A and B are shown apart, each in its own frame.
Chain A
Amino acid sequence: MSDLGAVLREGLRTLTFELGGPGARERLQKLKPARNEYGVDPYGFDVDYAVAAMAPFLWLYRKYFRVEVHGLEKVPRAGRLLVVANHSGQLPFDAAMLGLSLLVELDPPRFARALVEKWVPRLPFVSSFYARLGQVVGTPENCRRLLAAEEALLVFPEGVRGLCKPFWQSYHLQSFGLGFMRLALETGTPVLPVGIVGAEEQAPALLDLKPLARLLAMPALPLTPTPLALPLPTRYHLHFGDPLAFTGSSEDDDAVLEEKVERVKDAIRGLLRAGLKERRHIFW
């Protein structure tokens, strides 16, 4: 049983290196998170597991969504960072693709942790899978600790509002939470805006069954014509913007913070607008 697991894992690792393109093995081996004698970091991130688990997502990245990155040179290579992007598509493939892009397109790769919703640790399999990939629940304490350790965090301030929005609101940014701005100010962290084009069309939602979602203790239950697990093969474009630095107090009134958040939203809107203009076709 464990032999089978080891063979599968080795196979997946090889697939990851193949899909990662030339030099992927060498680049990914530069990932050196803190790890104890059992191969995990204090948050449960297991880099060997992650490189194996990447394979199917990397296949989606290369062959299914055929991700194109724009403006990668704007990504700071080191130091604390909040990567802030629009969120859509019912299932968080956009987060996976954005995280992967930083791992396979950059040399050395940059590992960014996604902040997950507080209900994720209640989900069997998903909770432990996410933890081995280094993702953490987005509590302020977790974020402060990771930023103090100069890590990069993926933030989707729209949260489930963005993820599960109906199709007629595509590319309309939903309201942003203020938490990430408080963190940026408190910890002196630059914000890297990213506009993700393509995910918004992958699973158009016709309606959101809110009462049923509440019954199942889920944040939302969107209905789409595509089976949920199978998004449409839209082509993804990741547009990285210039990092934004903010100054001020994290204790300021919400109104003051909202102005700053608006600057981030403007930057993402700009990236989305330009990205949509450039795009020739949803699928090609």
Chain B
Amino acid sequence: MPGLVAVTGISGHLGRALARLLHTETLLVGIDRRPFPERPKDLVHYEVDLRKRKLDEVFRRHPLEAVIHLGLRHDPRTPFSETHSFNILGTHKLFELCVQHGVKKVVVLSSANVYGPAPDNSNFLTEEAPLMAADRYSGVRDLIELDMYAQSFLWKHPEIETVVLRPVHIVGPTIANGPSKFLRLERPITVLGFDPMIQLVHVDDVCRALALALRPGARGVYNVVGPGEVPLSTILRELGRRPIPVPHLVVRALVARAFEARLTDFPPEQVDHLQYLCAVDGSRAVRDLGYAPRRSLRETIRSVLAS
């Protein structure tokens, strides 16, 4: 375990869970535009925008051994130009500083969403599968660009151990991403006659995978899966939801209207996840990183409830 680790986006729900896991094992430096109240006492936090010069100071002041980059902003309501600048320029700047200051390890959190749900997907996509998500949903362009950039960084800088993690839908009691919000709906919309296999992973398991990626020697691109896959209907039944099935011919138009009218924050393109497969093969992380999810399937599904 490296002795001094910076975590970007540490004030988010995932970042805080990671800080809880890591702060006993290593010294942590938090980097986020947002404050980090109730942080562990031994954690130094900087309220910095990754694009600003103040970030240089963080690197000058702390001889960082590793950087975990979670700081990707995604909000379907924020203008694309704003999040794009934050995500992409911020990442470029961060990576440059890692090179300049001889950081040995860079761990980047991407997502299995980069592959994108599609009717002709194989049941288990490996890390070599093309990143097709932006084909149908432009909202993931940032994510794909980040992933690709991290990959090229991995090849350009053999002296730095770069790890790109692509977890499936992250869920947890405090997680507030799209899938978790969807599963918290009492009456979620589903697509009539479609019931794709869904993979969820508990936030604690993702944190464990991030910690394993910090180990010396770990390098490369890894899918991170949870304890298994089940049909969407099974998840909704386990959570006691009463879904509203909508025929596929009208569901996107309906969700688009609702999105425009601000009745929902789910962009219509995300309906693809309710209709088609986007499941991945996580065996490489098991083999190379020694990662194995500890939460059971039922625990993982039910974790969206407790808070």
Closest to A128 in B: B195
Instruction: Digitize B119-137: 1 where CB-to-A-CB distance is under 8 Å, 0 elsewhere.
Output: 1111111100000000000
Please state if B123 and A127 are interface contacts (CB–CB under 8 Å). no
Given known contacts A128-B195, A141-B126, is B297 in contact with A38 (CB within 8 Å)? yes
Near B by CB (< 8 A), chain A positions 71-126 give 118-119, 121-126
Quote the shortest CB–CB distance from A108 to chain B (angstroms). Answer: 25
* Cross-interface CB contact of A125 among B120, B193, B227, B298, cutoff 8 Å: B193
Contacts of B194 in A (CB 8 A): 124, 127-128
Please state if A137 and B120 are interface contacts (CB–CB under 8 Å). yes
Determine if A43 is an interface residue (Cβ-Cβ < 8 Å). yes
The segment from B23-31, B78-86, B229-237 found at the interface with A is B229-237
Instruction: Digitize B182-194: 1 where CB-to-A-CB distance is under 8 Å, 0 elsewhere.
Output: 0000000001111
In whole angstroms, what is the CA distance A137 to B125 when docked? 13
Please state if B193 and A142 are interface contacts (CB–CB under 8 Å). no
Near A by CB (< 8 A), chain B positions 158-202 give 191-195, 197
Quote the shortest CB–CB distance from A12 to chain B (angstroms). Answer: 19
Determine if A44 is an interface residue (Cβ-Cβ < 8 Å). yes
Contacts of B231 in A (CB 8 A): 40, 44, 128, 131-132
Please state if B120 and A118 are interface contacts (CB–CB under 8 Å). yes
Determine if B277 is an interface residue (Cβ-Cβ < 8 Å). yes
Given known contacts A124-B247, A128-B194, is B119 in contact with A37 (CB within 8 Å)? no
Please state if A141 and B124 are interface contacts (CB–CB under 8 Å). yes
Contacts of B277 in A (CB 8 A): 121
Instruction: Digitize A199-235: 1 where CB-to-B-CB distance is under 8 Å, 0 elsewhere.
Output: 0000000000000000000000000000000000000
Determine if B296 is an interface residue (Cβ-Cβ < 8 Å). yes
Please state if B120 and A121 are interface contacts (CB–CB under 8 Å). yes
Given known contacts A36-B228, A37-B298, is B122 in contact with A44 (CB within 8 Å)? no
Given known contacts A36-B228, A121-B277, is B120 in contact with A139 (CB within 8 Å)? yes
Determine if B248 is an interface residue (Cβ-Cβ < 8 Å). yes
Quote the shortest CB–CB distance from B106 to chain A (angstroms). Answer: 30
Please state if A42 and B228 are interface contacts (CB–CB under 8 Å). yes
Quote the shortest CB–CB distance from A22 to chain B (angstroms). Answer: 34
Closest to A122 in B: B119
Given known contacts A38-B297, A124-B194, A128-B195, is B234 in contact with A139 (CB within 8 Å)? no
Given known contacts A119-B119, A124-B192, A141-B122, is B197 in contact with A37 (CB within 8 Å)? no
Sampled A-B contacts (26; CB under 8 Å): A37-B296, A38-B230, A40-B234, A42-B124, A44-B197, A44-B229, A118-B119, A123-B193, A124-B191, A124-B194, A124-B247, A127-B193, A127-B194, A128-B193, A128-B195, A128-B231, A131-B195, A131-B231, A132-B231, A137-B120, A137-B121, A137-B123, A141-B122, A142-B122, A145-B123, A145-B124
Q: Which residues of B contact A (CB under 8 A)?
A: 119-126, 191-195, 197, 227-231, 234, 238, 247-248, 276-277, 281, 296-298
The 10 closest A-B pairs by CB, nearest first: A124-B193, A121-B119, A128-B195, A125-B193, A141-B122, A118-B120, A139-B122, A36-B228, A122-B119, A38-B230
